[in-house]
Amino acid sequence: MPDWNRRQFIATGVAAAGRSLWGANDRIRVAVVGVRSRGWRHVECFHELAKDNVEVAALCDVDESILRKRASDFQALAGNEVKTFVDLRKLLEDPTIDAVAFATPNHWHALGTIWACQAGKDVFLEKPASHNVSEGRKMIEAARKYKRIVQHGTQSRSNPVMQEGMQKLREGVIGEIYMARGLAYKWRESVGKLQEEPVPAGVHYDLWVGPAPMKPFARVRFHYSWHFFWDYGNGEIGNQGVHQLDIMRWGLGLDTHPTRIQSMGGHFVHRDDQETPNTQLAAFQYEGRKILLQFEVRHWITNHEAGIGDVYSSRGEDNTVGVVFYGSEGYMVMPGYTSYYTFLGKERKAGPKAEWPGDSAANLDHFRNFIRAMRSRKSTDLSADIAEGHLSASLSHLANIAYRTGRTVRFDPETERFPGDEEANRLLTRPYRPPYVVPEKV
Amino acid sequence: MHSNRRRFLKSSAAVAAGALAPAIAAGRGGPNDRIRVAVVGLRRRGRDHVRCLHLLAKEENLEVAALCDVDEAVLSQQAAEYEKLSGKKARLLTDVRKLLEDPSIDAISYATPDHWHALGTIWACQAGKDVFLEKPASHNIFEGRKMIEAARKYRRIVQHGTQSRSNPAMHEGVAKLREGVIGEVYMARGLCFKWRESIGRLKEEPVPSGVHYDLWTGPAPLKPFARQRFHEYWHFLWDYGNGEIANQGVHQLDIMRWGLGLDTHPTEIQSMGGHYIHRDDQETPNTQVAWFRYAGRELVLQFDVRPWITNLEAGIGEIYPSRGQQNLVGVIFYGTEGYMVMPGYTCYYTFLGKNRTPGPKRETAEEPAASLDHFRNFIRAVRSRKHTDLTADIAEGHLSAALSHLANISYRTGQKLRFDPRAERFPNDDEANRLLRCSYRPPFVVPEEV
């Protein structure tokens, strides 16, 4: 195993094998990696795109019980069998696979994507793009070097109503925008206390741990609750938050990093071993722009805000997820991923608005956009190219670095470093556990 | 102009106060003695002071005996209004120092710009007068400490104008918080969304006739007269005001501290924002977020200031009252079992459990009732001579005003700050420490030793 990384995917050979010409009639064969929850949505979406000549050709998961269940679910859904893999590396060796969709934990995003690019596969990647800032940069380098199409799973970007809302913002429907406020109020129960346990049968724990430090198995670190441990996840702001941070950037046309970042909060209410804050405030400012971005994470009983979650549907009954843009002529509310509402003037008169009649999770269009860019071979056809994903995920990382260092951090968008702040710079990357190393040179 | 040194400097003032204070305690402080109050700064909020005090005149046996303002036009107009209201003529003055020399005055009610609060209060204490002081207590943190020292040294009653502290619904709400109606409270969010037009560009002008501009400027650096520095707008220039977070904001910051039983300073402070929309000479941010944490407490305080078109929040301003139609002012407390909304100064509402089921609530009448109760509390403490009878003793005022000052220092230095609550200093941060006080223009100097 240790040699596998180097043997297969460094630079030349395999990548060249990657497909670079597609006819409209060529079937695109997709593999989905990490199929417990979000990954199964990927499978369903790609399956729905069958008429676009797309096929789910393989499933991969490090938990064999999940893999078995999803394979049989797939049989029921599609009426045919699907190849299954436990080890992503084996999957990447399969020359019949054109694209890989990743819904793994965050700590696998960069390595999976870079390996896939090196193996000549295109990638659909769940958010957040990266587990840390430096990974994002490497992913862009890999995508460009191997001429791969890498779509980031911020699906609002492909939703026609959101696109219309953004257009309205650019046209000045609420005047000059000076503030955006992102909300991720999602109900979160306690993750519980860490308890060492034997690795469950069928779980390939070494593979699951991948680039992270090897620690004893504990359910509290595993399925889903890995979001709330720094080794694997990035907290709520790097989970749900990335969608709204991305919308804020998009609405304000911020195609660079912020220069000054603050964050404060804590892990309140629950007395457990969660590491990431469940209550978090973050604020961002950008060199040369007269704007304030603010973000708030809550996890428990709260009022809704700006109509999000009560007047307008959001991500579930108990949740308030959205963005509010504030401008010189009014404000715009963007609940969830598929609607916008404007309120104009001192009297807050209802202005232009639109609601997407379809899936409020906005999934299908985003997968379709990916497939079309695969055929066109133009990363510029993507609505959420990895370069966008990198910037949006970085906002959550920068907030977390400010939170963890406990200070206002100043970031240089060019070098992607904190000048003169070694403690903060250390959090821009991580030590990788061989052979799961995100390479300096992709 | 020697009044300052002559009457109120350290030793002589102490003597003077020593002579005056017992006189008050023994004389006009008795239950049957009429308390004579002077109001300083009359244009807007001071006018409310006059009205509140007059409303309490009979019931509390007090009298508005003097009015003082550095703008003679304002003074004569308010004098006429007061005469119409009460049928009485008050003594009229432009210089607070002359007022403080009047031995017949028992208490001073200040509604001046912020930069005068500390000096006016300290002088009054030295002169043996009790003080009702508009918020924010101070113009900087150093001043707040000196005011407490003066109040204690001269045994004066100094009430801070955060009137929620005297409102029965707010008391009930805070008692409920303490009883755990929403469980363990881990966050409080203060909102101050008030409509603010542009203050315009600073334009040098001749001092309007009847305006004693040197007196108005007082402790601040003397700059050419400009309307954008004067009435109302001074809030938004650092020489005189502390921005919206200290203007309206200090009420909500005070409620947050009160609800959470925070009787010390925070240890970590962050603030960010800017002056947006308007292109003018305002110095303070009109858009500001500020966050606070306290050593040893598992909670976070957050504050949000907006000046312009915004959604309302948590029902404040739409379902529940607030400060006017365009404004949203209030506090929300978040706990393990629910949340509590406190719009404005006179009501509270609770929402319990995952489904936000309405729980205990109470509403009382809005202004002027809230202020009336607060003045009544002041007058009663003036009689009892116990500052512990005050609902908003200057020591509380200092802590609440300090929250706004700390937020502003973080905003101005562009850094997260760490504050030592005992020393009232930022360890190893000279830039921030410099903003803990200002330099004073003689003779308007807040003394090191009161």
The pTM for the full model equals 0.94
Contact B303, B189 (CB under 8 A): yes
Query: A70 in a domain, yes or no?
Result: yes
pLDDT computed for residue B322 by the predictor: 67
Query: A167 in a domain, yes or no?
Result: yes
The distance of A377 to chain B (nearest Cα, Å) reads: 42
DSSP string, B293-341: E-TT---EEEEEEE-SS---BTTBTTTB--SSTT-EEEEEEEESSEEEE
Contact A156, A246 (CB under 8 A): yes
Query: A426 in a domain, yes or no?
Result: no
A59 is in which domain, residue-wise?
4-156+364-384
Residue A374 structure tokens:
């695969």
What span, in angstroms and rounded, lies between the C-alpha atoms of B364 and B395?
27
Q: Is B195 on the interface with A (CB under 8 A)?
A: yes
The distance of A270 to chain B (nearest Cα, Å) reads: 9
**Contacting B residues, span 356-415, partner chain A, CB-CB under 8 Å:** 356, 414-415
**Counted domains in chain B:** 2
pLDDT computed for residue A6 by the predictor: 42
Whether residue B192 sits in one domain with residue B130: no
Could you tell me the CATH number of the domain that includes residue A87? 3.40.50.720
Could you tell me the CATH number of the domain that includes residue A218? 3.30.360.10
Could you tell me the CATH number of the domain that includes residue B252? 3.30.360.10
What span, in angstroms and rounded, lies between the C-alpha atoms of A78 and A50?
10
**Contacting A residues, span 180-209, partner chain B, CB-CB under 8 Å:** 187
Whether residue B196 sits in one domain with residue B300: yes
**Are B272 and A292 within 8 A, CB to CB?**
yes
- Interhelix angle for B141-153 vs B394-413, to 10°? 170
- On the question of pLDDT at B18 being above 80, the answer is no
From the list B291, B326, B356, which residue is nearest A264 (CB)?
B291
B28 is in which domain, residue-wise?
3-164+371-392
Q: Parallel, antiparallel, or unpaired: how do β-strands A349-355 and A339-344 relate? A: antiparallel
Whether residue B181 sits in one domain with residue B85: no
Half-sphere exposure of A331 toward its Cβ, with a 13 Å CA cutoff? 23
Whether residue B62 sits in one domain with residue B41: yes
Whether residue B409 sits in one domain with residue B320: yes
Residue B211 structure tokens:
């305006």
Query: B432 in a domain, yes or no?
Result: no
Query: B443 in a domain, yes or no?
Result: no
pLDDT computed for residue B7 by the predictor: 42
Whether residue A215 sits in one domain with residue A70: no
Mean pLDDT, all residues of chain A? 94
Nearest CA in chain A to B196: A346
What span, in angstroms and rounded, lies between the C-alpha atoms of B38 and B362?
34
Whether residue B157 sits in one domain with residue B134: yes
Q: Which residues of B39-56 are buried (b: 16+ CB within 10 A; e: fewer)?
A: bbbbbebbbbbbbbbbbb
Whether residue A165 sits in one domain with residue A129: no
Query: B130 in a domain, yes or no?
Result: yes
Contact A270, A428 (CB under 8 A): no
Q: Parallel, antiparallel, or unpaired: how do β-strands A177-185 and A320-327 relate? A: antiparallel
Whether residue B236 sits in one domain with residue B91: no
- On the question of pLDDT at B10 being above 70, the answer is no
pLDDT computed for residue B2 by the predictor: 40
A43, containing H or E segment: helix A38-48
Mean pLDDT, all residues of chain B? 92
What average pLDDT score do residues B220-232 get? 95
Residue B142 structure tokens:
């150093």
Q: Is B429 on the interface with A (CB under 8 A)?
A: no
- On the question of pLDDT at B342 being above 60, the answer is yes
Whether residue A100 sits in one domain with residue A182: no
Whether residue A152 sits in one domain with residue A164: no
What span, in angstroms and rounded, lies between the C-alpha atoms of A390 and B185?
36
Whether residue A111 sits in one domain with residue A13: yes
What span, in angstroms and rounded, lies between the C-alpha atoms of A226 and A63?
15
Whether residue A111 sits in one domain with residue A197: no
pLDDT computed for residue B30 by the predictor: 62
DSSP string, B200-249: ------PPPTTB-HHHHHTTSPP----GGGSTTGGGGSTTT--HHHHHTH
Contact B309, A326 (CB under 8 A): yes
What average pLDDT score do residues B121-134 get? 98
- Among B196, B233, B199, B235, CA closest to B326: B196
**Are A283 and B302 within 8 A, CB to CB?**
no
Q: Is A16 exposed, middle or buried (0-12, 13-18, 19+ CB in 10 A)?
A: exposed
Residue with the two structure tokens 């379809």: A358
What span, in angstroms and rounded, lies between the C-alpha atoms of B271 and B110?
29
- Counted residue by residue, chain A has a size of 442
**Are A348 and B353 within 8 A, CB to CB?**
no
Q: Which residues of A189-210 are buried (b: 16+ CB within 10 A; e: fewer)?
A: ebbeebeeeeeeeebebebbbb
Residue A410 CA: distances (Å) to CA of A192, A287, B274: 35, 10, 17
What span, in angstroms and rounded, lies between the C-alpha atoms of A156 and A167?
14
- On the question of pLDDT at B25 being above 50, the answer is no
Q: Which residues of chain A have pLDDT under 70?
A: 1-24, 315
Query: B435 in a domain, yes or no?
Result: no
**Which chain A residues are Cβ-neighbours of B293 within 8 angstroms?**
264, 266
Whether residue A146 sits in one domain with residue A170: no
pLDDT computed for residue A277 by the predictor: 98
DSSP string, A119-152: TT-EEEEPSSS-SSHHHHHHHHHHHHHTT--EEE
The distance of A410 to chain B (nearest Cα, Å) reads: 10
Tell me if residue B434 falls in helix, strand or coil: helix
- Would you tell me how many other CB atoms lie within 10 Å of the CB of residue B15? 11
CB pairs under 8 A between A and B: 126
Residue with the two structure tokens 């007090």: B62
Query: A435 in a domain, yes or no?
Result: no
Task: Calculate the CA B25 to chain-centre distance.
Answer: 26
What type of residue is B189?
Answer: R
Query: A425 in a domain, yes or no?
Result: no
What span, in angstroms and rounded, lies between the C-alpha atoms of B275 and B277?
7
Query: A432 in a domain, yes or no?
Result: no
**Are B336 and A302 within 8 A, CB to CB?**
no
**Counted domains in chain A:** 2
pLDDT computed for residue A318 by the predictor: 77
Query: A442 in a domain, yes or no?
Result: no
Residue B447 structure tokens:
């003394």
Whether residue B122 sits in one domain with residue B171: no
What type of residue is B105?
Answer: I
Whether residue A85 sits in one domain with residue A172: no
- On the question of pLDDT at B22 being above 80, the answer is no
Whether residue B210 sits in one domain with residue B143: no
CA dihedral over A78, A81, A85, A86, signed as positive or negative? positive
Q: Is A187 exposed, middle or buried (0-12, 13-18, 19+ CB in 10 A)?
A: middle
Query: B98 in a domain, yes or no?
Result: yes
Mutate to test the interface with A, among B416, B417, B426, B428 (most CBs of A within 10 A): B416
Whether residue B39 sits in one domain with residue B129: yes
Q: Parallel, antiparallel, or unpaired: how do β-strands A292-298 and A177-185 relate? A: parallel
Beta bridge partners of B425: B420
DSSP string, B334-376: EESSEEEEEETTTEEEEEETTTTEEEEEEE---TTHHHHHHHH
Percent over 70 (pLDDT), chain B? 92
Whether residue A244 sits in one domain with residue A259: yes
Torsion, CA B96, CA B98, CA B100, CA B102, rounded to 10 = -140
Nearest CA in chain B to A269: B336
Whether residue A203 sits in one domain with residue A115: no
Whether residue B328 sits in one domain with residue B200: yes
Whether residue A336 sits in one domain with residue A351: yes
Residue A112 structure tokens:
């999976």
Whether residue B356 sits in one domain with residue B379: no
What average pLDDT score do residues B348-374 get? 91
DSSP string, A228-281: GSTTT--TGGGTTHHHHHHHHHHHHT--S--SEEEEEEE--S--S---S-SEEE
Residues 6+ apart with CB under 8 A from B54: B64, B82, B85, B86
Q: Left, alpha or beta for B403 (phi > 0: left; psi -120 to 50: alpha)? A: alpha
Query: B85 in a domain, yes or no?
Result: yes
Mutate to test the interface with A, among B194, B198, B272 (most CBs of A within 10 A): B272
- Among B240, B250, B265, B249, CA closest to B401: B250
Please give the DSSP secondary-structure letter assigned to residue A214. P
Please give the DSSP secondary-structure letter assigned to residue A80. S
Whether residue A192 sits in one domain with residue A276: yes
**Are B270 and A408 within 8 A, CB to CB?**
yes
SS3 content of chain B, % helix, strand, coil (to 5): 40, 20, 40
Q: What confidence category does residue B327 fall into, taking pLDDT thresholds of 50, 70 and 90?
A: confident
**Which chain B residues are Cβ-neighbours of A285 within 8 angstroms?**
272, 274
**Which chain A residues are Cβ-neighbours of B315 within 8 angstroms?**
303
Q: Is A292 on the interface with B (CB under 8 A)?
A: yes
Query: A441 in a domain, yes or no?
Result: no
Could you tell me the CATH number of the domain that includes residue B102? 3.40.50.720
What type of residue is A178?
Answer: Y
**Contacting A residues, span 294-323, partner chain B, CB-CB under 8 Å:** 294, 296, 298, 300-303, 305-307, 318
- Among B306, B305, B327, B331, CA closest to B318: B327
pLDDT computed for residue A158 by the predictor: 97
Percent over 90 (pLDDT), chain B? 88
